[in-house]
Amino acid sequence: MTPTPLTEMTAWKALESHAATIQTKHLREMFAADPQRGERMTAEACGLFLDYSKHRIDDETLRLFQALAAESGLEDRRAAMFRGDKINVTENRAVLHTALRAPREAVIEVDGKNVVPDVHAVLDKMAAFAESIRSGAWTGYTGKPIRNVINIGIGGSDLGPVMAYEALRHYSERELTMRFVSNVDGSDFAEAVHDLDPEETLFIVSSKTFTTLETMTNAHSARVWALGKLKQTEAVAKHFVAVSTNAKEVAKFGIDTANMFGFWDWVGGRYSMDAAIGLSTMIAIGAENFRRMLAGFHAMDEHFRTAPLAQNLPFLMGMLTVWYTSFFGAETVAVLPYDNYLKRFPAYLQQLTMESNGKHVTLDGRHVNYQTCPIFWGEPGTNGQHSFYQLIHQGTRLIPCDFIGFAHSLNPLGNHHDLLMSNIFAQAEALAFGKTPEQVKAEGTADWLVPHRTFEGNRPSNVILAEKMTPEILGQLVALYEHSVFVQGVIWQIDSFDQWGVELGKVLAVRIIPELESATEPDLRHDSSTNALIRRYRRMRRKQA
């Protein structure tokens, strides 16, 4: 059955006219009219507290969010995802990253088969391997213990592992050097290995398909680098393991398939950091901490699955993103973690959000007549305050912000932490309430300077607080955003789980490679710009040669 087009839904139309009223209101008035607002418009789940009171919404907005969810069949779609239905329609696949963190006794079926025992079998195998590296029991070809671990992967096979390693570095084994190579730019690989000894280095080649150009190019360079010192090809088995679904290609590379860690086609790349793609994370933080992270993911899954929508964190955050994108013309969302360990979190979220919801056709192939995914970006606080926050405060665009902070630092140092956190509260306050011309004048500011020093305010933000950065909290945070992305995708009626937009560039690059490498002048049949660029590049290369 063809669903009602979004913009024809009753709740959508109601939100449209409601937005016109809200746009005339200032957060200052809304707070003045309801002294309890700051306490009331909050929600808490697992270890995360969300203050969403500084949003341009009222109780009617929240009611309409639920009405739109009902009209969009959100709860049915959520049930379908958790049940393992093939909701990724363009790839005819189930979407079951939630099974990756399900407890051992859970039963989740794909095509009539319970997948949970397989998930735990891989986790157990990963744990045994991670322990052998951490303890030094696994030795390299020449008998030395492994001291350096390099994950080679890209996209979903890189961003999650890098982010999680940085986020949980405090919990990591400091005797091990962990590095990540993703870019096909040789500099990435060269810098990653420049001070390492192949005898003590393990490469994890992480690639679902084991055919990705960047990853395979880096893996082959790693092989050459390692064998440069180790000489014997048998050494590959001691210095390379694979995370993949493609056993044939793994074996062809020379990796012992006993040292291959598998996953399944129902795990999307950007949803795979808690599958075997997290092997580097597990080696860094140990199996127990990894399982704590999975427990955090699972706790948020259960919250999303069962909590009433009015208190459902992923629902609220997802709908707020839809609200500003579709009704306020907001083009971006800034994610601002006030925790240095989360420095790669915005980069990770860019893929999760934009590869998932950066789509312009609906599930049934119609061109949308509304905006979908906003651009996610951000930097850890307080650094961003001294660069781009100016635009958020006084620029011409509306930029909803997510502030993320913790009550306790993992590295208590003098009063650093209170200083850090005072900035979250101050920034969210300044964005919402601003500073009126009267206030600026009252400070004795010259009239001509008043407009420059005035802050309009009325700029929305979430504040997410947790006790401290732990593996559980990281799992909860990631799952919170995963499910928020899901909510947005359902409302926008798109397939959040395919990524056809990544394909075209890949295909074209493969066609161009021989044109760059050929010894004779190639017969170029691109457009005039691409042809000219290729010719110029070839001339520049010849000149240097």
Give the active site residues: 355, 386, 506
Q: Give me the residue label for tokens 């839904």.
A: 9
As separate numbers, helices (DSSP H) first and strands (DSSP E) second, the chain gives 23, 13
Q: Which is nearer to ligand G6Q, 248 or 543 (CB)?
A: 248
Query: How many chain residues are in contact with ligand G6Q, going by CB under 6 A?
Result: 14
Residues 6+ apart with CB under 8 A from 164: 273, 278, 281, 293, 474
Distance between CA atoms of 292 and 77, rounded to whole angstroms? 28
Binders of ligand G6Q in range 71-110 (CB under 6 A) = none
Q: Which is nearer to ligand G6Q, 93 or 270 (CB)?
A: 270
Binding of ligand G6Q at residue 344 (CB under 6 A)?
Answer: no
- Count Cβ atoms within 10 A of the Cβ of residue 107 and give its class: 0-12 exposed, 13-18 middle, 19 or more buried: exposed
Among residues 161, 269, 337, 489, the one that binds ligand G6Q under rule CB under 6 A: 269
Binders of ligand G6Q in range 208-247 (CB under 6 A) = 208-209, 212, 215
Binding of ligand G6Q at residue 355 (CB under 6 A)?
Answer: yes
Strand partners for 51: 42, 463
Distance between CA atoms of 397 and 376, rounded to whole angstroms? 14
Is residue 285 within 8 A of residue 471, CB to CB? The reply is yes
Q: Which is nearer to ligand G6Q, 355 or 515 (CB)?
A: 355
Three-state SS for 479?
helix
Residue 246 CB, nearest approach to ligand G6Q (Å): 8
Q: Which is nearer to ligand G6Q, 209 or 518 (CB)?
A: 209
Binders of ligand G6Q in range 152-171 (CB under 6 A) = 154-157
Residue 181 CB, nearest approach to ligand G6Q (Å): 13
Q: Which is nearer to ligand G6Q, 51 or 158 (CB)?
A: 158
Among residues 98, 151, 207, 461, the one that binds ligand G6Q under rule CB under 6 A: 207
Supply φ then ψ for residue 205, to 5 degrees: -90, 105
The sign of the dihedral angle between the CA atoms of 118, 121, 127, 128 is negative
Enter the tokens of residue 324. 């500003």
Q: Which is nearer to ligand G6Q, 94 or 320 (CB)?
A: 94
Q: Looking at 203-211, 290-298, 409-417, 480-488, which segment touches ligand G6Q (CB under 6 A)?
A: 203-211
The DSSP call for residue 198 is G
Residue 345 CB, nearest approach to ligand G6Q (Å): 17
Is residue 157 within 8 A of residue 206, CB to CB? The reply is yes
Distance between CA atoms of 29 and 520, rounded to whole angstroms? 72
Among residues 239, 270, 393, 417, the one that binds ligand G6Q under rule CB under 6 A: 270
Residue 312 CB, nearest approach to ligand G6Q (Å): 25
The sign of the dihedral angle between the CA atoms of 277, 283, 288, 292 is negative
Residue 191 CB, nearest approach to ligand G6Q (Å): 21
- Count Cβ atoms within 10 A of the Cβ of residue 31 and give its class: 0-12 exposed, 13-18 middle, 19 or more buried: middle
Among residues 84, 161, 198, 268, the one that binds ligand G6Q under rule CB under 6 A: 268
Binding of ligand G6Q at residue 427 (CB under 6 A)?
Answer: no
| Interface contacts to ligand G6Q, rule CB under 6 A | 154-157, 207-209, 212, 215, 268-270, 355, 499
